[in-house]
A and B are shown apart, each in its own frame.
Chain A
Amino acid sequence: MSRGFDAITLEVLWTRLISVVDEAAKAIVRTSFSTLSNEANDFACMLTDARGYSLAQNTGSIPSFIGTLPATVRHFLRAMGVAAMRPGDVLITNDAWMGTGHMSDVSVLKPLFRAGRLVAFSATTSHMPDIGGRLRAIEAREVFEEGLHIPLMKLVREGRTDETLIEMIRANVRTPDQTMGDIWAQVGANELMERRLLALMDDGRLDSLDDLSDELFARAEGAMRAAIRAVPDATYRYAMRTDGVDEPLDYQVALTIAGDEVTADYTGTSSQQPRAINCVLAYTYAMTAYAIKCALLPGLANNEGMYRPVRVTAPEGCLLNPRFPAAVVSRAVTGHYVPVLLFGALHQVIPDRVAAGAGSPLWAVQQTGLRADGRPYTNIFFFNGGMGATAVKDGESVLSWPSNISSTPVEVAERNSPLFFHEKRLRPGLGGAGRFRGGLGQDIVIECESDAPIVASFMAERTKFSAPGFAGGDDGGLGDVQINGHSIDNRRQHVLKRGDVILVRTPGGGGYGSAAQRDLTLAERDRALGYV
């Protein structure tokens, strides 16, 4: 406690930092072109200290970016060194291993200086409307097929924009105006965080953030260590099988609690795949940290300190730690299984602080084609399944978990694409039965109204292996993708012509506890409201 911050000052400064990133997030929502940012919430804003340790991220941000973005800042620090960073620089990358796990997310950072000294980084990451390459197909075998790779670079050097880099980006993406529009929206958000942070430092008479961040990290770390210490020491194991591509995939974790530290070892998980479903270690780490926090310390805002007692290991070449140049664009369909895996392990020791399996990973339907006026369009709709039940309540129906991605409103989707929605409604019976029931998934029925063919690809999981119930609860119901009434191989692209009808059925969450113990009032309510 080098500067001796009192509890009130600390709370105020931390809250203000969170306000700064929340304000930047609002600006991104308002100024971005990608529906992924402005409707779906697929972006994040963050402030780190000068060492790249996370101080605050926007309140609504998604778990993956919370974990990966500070690591991206530290990669820049390692690669460029502090000396090479100048006031007025803007840094950019979409490297999958050093970024968010796939190249669709572009990270834009700004080193922030005060009195000539580096004091912090503002950082944003945002899912681009398009980054070139093959469309989000899982058929890609190498990352080279997945679009333009922007290594760790400077987009702006001391206030001067690198026009060559911009030309390169524009020439390599399908939607140059939108992609660059979104990158500039990120730059704007970074500058906004810069202005606010410097004003805050003036106000609080802070020359550096080091003392403040050390104090905040130390307190958060202490709280996390105390929470871990309260769980009995042992190694807890859990295994799970999932849909896979040609063959099912196996997931395994050995979760070791030793004193005040926790280690998740994913040895035994399937090898990396020649498909775009590999999940880089940074993403695996983010999902691990998310699950641990949900179970052990859900009420506290995030910062770096919370992650210090959490370790992750996975053999190189494993699905959860693939080697370059593995294809990775759909890494969410792998990474989103990780929290369920950890809950399976933790359920053995803290059964009332975890949730049963969720009807996730995130689902998506991506389309590309031509509009009526001949302009090309590409679009992605996200959909979610049901949450798993817990020891105290039913899982919520149709709620994004572990991610936090909204669906696009049907009225907006119909305006932006030549598609017609016949239905989007809860699918009764998909929630796993139990003392507490899993959340329901949904049915979405979409008709192609385009005369030009539309190429559709899908992110669809738990169509073969359902979300596990816990403590005797039933598994959640399976998802499905159909075209014209027939289930299809959702691992391939499909060409839609006018009149074709897609059914997307997202899976339900697992139940918790035996169905025989279900409260009669709840059971009656389920029948009356048609949830079962």
Chain B
Amino acid sequence: MDEFIDTITPSYALGIDIGGTFTDIVVYDHDSGRQWSRKVLTTHDDPVRAVAAGVATVLADGHLEPRHFTRVVHATTLFTNALIERKGAVTGLITTAGFGDTLEIGRERKFELYDLNIAKPEPLVPRNLRREVAERVKADGSVRQPLDREQLLASVERLAAAGVASIAVVFLHAYANPRHEAEAVQLIAERQPKVFVTASHEVAPEIREFERASTTVANAYIKPLAHQYLGRMARQLAEQRIPAPLLLMLSSGGLTHVAEAQRAPVQMLESGPAAGAIAAAFFGRGDKGGNLLAFDMGGTTAKLSLIDGGEPLTAYSFEAARQKRFIEGSGLPMRISTIELIEIGAGGGSIAHVDEIGLLKVGPRSAGSQPGPACYGLGGTEATVTDADLVLGYLNRDPRDYALLCTGGAGPVHACHVARKLGLREVICPPSAGVASALGLLVAPARVDRVATVGIRLDRGDCAALEAAFRALEDDARAVMADTGLKLETARFQRLADGRFLGQGFDLVVSLPDGPYDRRDAAATRRALTSAFEAAYREKFSLTLPDVPVEFINIRVAVRAPVAGSEVVLQGRPRGGSEEPVKGRRPAWFPEAGGFVETTVYDRARLAVGDRFTGPAVIEEEGSTLVVGPGASFAVAPTGNVIVTLTP
């Protein structure tokens, strides 16, 4: 029946990507493969206003009927900006007695060694809004001291009187036993039903109290905003008679529904950049087995992500709202799943300057919309190369197995130079590279990530308990999936663990064999899990394995399900007609040629599938320019991608 309807009814997908400057609206017609897009200025006082206007314009321009929209996906930098600008809700924090200052003390390390005027990031909850309550769970999850309910309620009253709109609850070892936190949440909800509550075990049930508190507090801080904003966005779309449910892009590159995003908005902090990585994976899926280095360079930042076999790499923590953009440790640690995005500084508008010893530095200051400095390109890409090198090196990847996929306004300008420096042989430039990331919203799978701290030794731990713990996470994830209301294709359940050799202090996240594990044959399970960990460890560190048992600290479940009706077809312009793609010639500067070279200028809109030319070339389209060096050649693929082949 569905199929029948599909053949006669148009089906559109709508992507809404709210960035710092622009809001991108993209509509994709699943039947014709046509796209419409619209860039409008973000309305910071009320971001929904720009969306409403933008959507109305796109509908009118394309003569599209709202009722034909089957999918609406949204990404936003709103929550990240709320953290950076400290514009979240007045938030309170309730902790285990004795640990109210954990959030402020942090890890006691300087992020800059020589700066005597160093300032730690200001905690999101000031000291007068942090209350301590008698209760104590021990490292093994046993209760040493029950929760003092009276004291908790008194603290809630004081916080409410101080005007907090949201409360975070972080008790020690709540990852091992969440009972006291759950009790507290219930008591707060009963006493102050209008106050938002976030407990640490709900958003980051992982060992290390500071990082968990930081994540929990950030969630609490943006939760009222998320609740109000996402609710309003959903209502606005309903008012515009778009019947499809609103879906949100998570930092992990997956989609979820409004209720889950309202519950844990901290999962959406990197939703915009994640969409970019998903888009890159999509555009490059036919090449190099989907092994890509996605290079996105806009006006102020350049970001890299690594895509292996079509899957963007996942990280399990990152820093939000850094005080110093490129300095690790200067931000707020977040323990959530996110697509591994490495901010490599300098975007196209970064300002270059000469430092104390005459070396050229680029960024972190940006010229913004002002005209950029004369030599930004060179230094900017060089800094980029350094970090890209680090990414590839750290992951032990052979660069020749990867293609560089470039997006963003400045990405195509520098892509070939960056690729050459990294030893990559191929550059892929998708059509409309400047707005490519918004399309990523429409091709993303539904995704749920769950984590639990278990602390199980593989040489003697309880394998049945481990299996039960995995099942509990999978059941929870399945329930969230079911609530999306999406027509899901088969869901893929991936099991992972944060493992270490007993006694080590940090964990390596490794993929495990698929479950369920045989509860009766514990020995086989131990062997399989141990060898999975050891193989990953050896690959990563090329080190002799220590003769020490393996321990799993956290287990993770990542559930992904392709969404029915998310097929986007890429189609290049067919050959035909007599339009000449060459617009003209002009001298352009190429570092590898050591100076200016006479260069052919092409109009991308007039390039057809199968066209093949050699560099030096400049290929212009609205919003971005692809630069191809001397000695390189390029061709237009059936997808419309321009594929540049570099000579070694």
Q: Contact mask B339-365 → A, CB, 8 Å, 1/0?
A: 000000000000000111111110000
One of B74-82, B271-279, B377-385 contacting the partner: B377-385
The number of chain B residues with a CB under 8 A from chain A is 70
Knowing A223-B356, A412-B505, A414-B138, the reply to whether A23 touches B393 (Cβ < 8 A) is yes
* Smallest CB separation, B99 vs chain A (Å): 6
B505 contacts A15, C-beta separation under 8 Å: no
Q: Which of A35, A298, A424 contacts B102 (CB 8 A)?
A: A424
A396–B379 CA distance with the chains assembled, in angstroms:
35
A326–B275 CA distance with the chains assembled, in angstroms:
61
Knowing A23-B393, A397-B105, the reply to whether A8 touches B355 (Cβ < 8 A) is no
Q: Contact mask A35-69 → B, CB, 8 Å, 1/0?
A: 10111010000000000000000011111000000
B108 contacts A399, C-beta separation under 8 Å: yes
A384–B120 CA distance with the chains assembled, in angstroms:
14
Name A470-489 residues within 8 Å CB distance of B: none
B113 contacts A63, C-beta separation under 8 Å: yes
Q: Decide if B63 is an interface residue (CB 8 Å cutoff).
A: no
A300–B421 CA distance with the chains assembled, in angstroms:
26
B108 contacts A11, C-beta separation under 8 Å: no
B543 contacts A188, C-beta separation under 8 Å: yes
Q: Contact mask B388-414 → A, CB, 8 Å, 1/0?
A: 011001100000000000000000000
B114 contacts A409, C-beta separation under 8 Å: no
Q: Decide if A293 is an interface residue (CB 8 Å cutoff).
A: yes
Knowing A12-B382, A12-B386, A426-B104, the reply to whether A177 touches B114 (Cβ < 8 A) is no
One of A238-246, A268-276, A400-408 contacting the partner: A400-408
Inter-chain contacts of B108 with A (CB < 8 A):
382-384, 398-400, 405-407
Inter-chain contacts of B138 with A (CB < 8 A):
414, 420
A16–B127 CA distance with the chains assembled, in angstroms:
41
* Smallest CB separation, B459 vs chain A (Å): 13
Q: Decide if B110 is an interface residue (CB 8 Å cutoff).
A: yes
Inter-chain contacts of A188 with B (CB < 8 A):
541-543
One of B207-215, B515-523, B567-575 contacting the partner: B207-215
Q: Which of A31, A295, A410 contacts B209 (CB 8 A)?
A: A410
A23–B361 CA distance with the chains assembled, in angstroms:
21
A392 contacts B543, C-beta separation under 8 Å: no
Knowing A298-B116, A409-B209, the reply to whether A11 touches B504 (Cβ < 8 A) is no
A404–B97 CA distance with the chains assembled, in angstroms:
28
Knowing A11-B382, A177-B547, A410-B99, the reply to whether A32 touches B110 (Cβ < 8 A) is no
Inter-chain contacts of A41 with B (CB < 8 A):
109
Instruction: Count CB-based A-B contacts (< 8 Å).
Output: 206
A347–B441 CA distance with the chains assembled, in angstroms:
57
A59–B355 CA distance with the chains assembled, in angstroms:
18
Q: Which of A59, A399, A421 contacts B118 (CB 8 A)?
A: A399
Describe B's contact surface by its main secondary structure: loop
Knowing A188-B543, A425-B99, A426-B105, the reply to whether A529 touches B110 (Cβ < 8 A) is no
Q: Which of A300, A404, A424, A528 contacts B109 (CB 8 A)?
A: A404
Name B84-103 residues within 8 Å CB distance of A: 97-102
B128 contacts A528, C-beta separation under 8 Å: yes
**Contact-residue size bin, chain A (C-beta under 8 Å from the other chain):** 35 or more
A178–B503 CA distance with the chains assembled, in angstroms:
8
Closest residue of B by beta carbon distance from A29: B506
B101, B138, B329: which has the most chain A beta carbons within 10 Å? B101
Q: Decide if B173 is an interface residue (CB 8 Å cutoff).
A: yes
A411 contacts B139, C-beta separation under 8 Å: yes
B383 contacts A442, C-beta separation under 8 Å: no
B115 contacts A401, C-beta separation under 8 Å: no
Q: Contact mask A414-426 → B, CB, 8 Å, 1/0?
A: 1100001111111
Inter-chain contacts of B360 with A (CB < 8 A):
7-8, 11
A426 contacts B101, C-beta separation under 8 Å: yes
Q: Decide if A10 is an interface residue (CB 8 Å cutoff).
A: yes
Q: Contact mask B234-258 → A, CB, 8 Å, 1/0?
A: 0000000000000000000000000
Inter-chain contacts of B455 with A (CB < 8 A):
415
A7 contacts B387, C-beta separation under 8 Å: no
A421 contacts B389, C-beta separation under 8 Å: no
Inter-chain contacts of B105 with A (CB < 8 A):
397-398, 407, 424-426, 442
A411 contacts B546, C-beta separation under 8 Å: no
A530–B129 CA distance with the chains assembled, in angstroms:
11
Q: Which of B110, B210, B506 contacts A399 (CB 8 A)?
A: B110
Inter-chain contacts of A14 with B (CB < 8 A):
359
Given A7-B358, A181-B546, A405-B108; 8 other pairs, CB 8 A cutoff: A10-B359, A33-B504, A295-B116, A299-B114, A353-B116, A390-B116, A410-B209, A411-B175
Taking beta carbons and an 8 Å cutoff, which residues of B are in contact with A?
A: 97-102, 104-105, 107-110, 113-120, 126-128, 138-139, 144, 172-173, 175, 207-210, 328-329, 354-361, 378-379, 382-383, 385-387, 389-390, 393-394, 421, 455, 501, 503-506, 508, 540-544, 546-548
The 4 closest A-B pairs by CB, nearest first: A423-B98, A38-B505, A219-B357, A298-B114
Show 23 residue pairs from A and B whose CB-CB distance is below 8 angstroms, ordered by the A residue. A8-B378, A11-B359, A12-B383, A19-B390, A29-B505, A31-B504, A59-B328, A177-B503, A177-B546, A177-B547, A181-B504, A393-B117, A396-B119, A397-B104, A399-B108, A399-B110, A406-B107, A409-B210, A412-B208, A414-B173, A415-B455, A426-B105, A528-B128
Taking beta carbons and an 8 Å cutoff, which residues of A are in contact with B?
A: 7-8, 10-12, 14-16, 19, 22-23, 26-27, 29-35, 37-39, 41, 59-63, 177-178, 181, 184-185, 188, 191-192, 196, 203, 219-220, 222-223, 290, 293-295, 297-300, 353-355, 382-384, 387, 390, 392-393, 396-401, 404-407, 409-412, 414-415, 420-426, 442, 445, 528-531
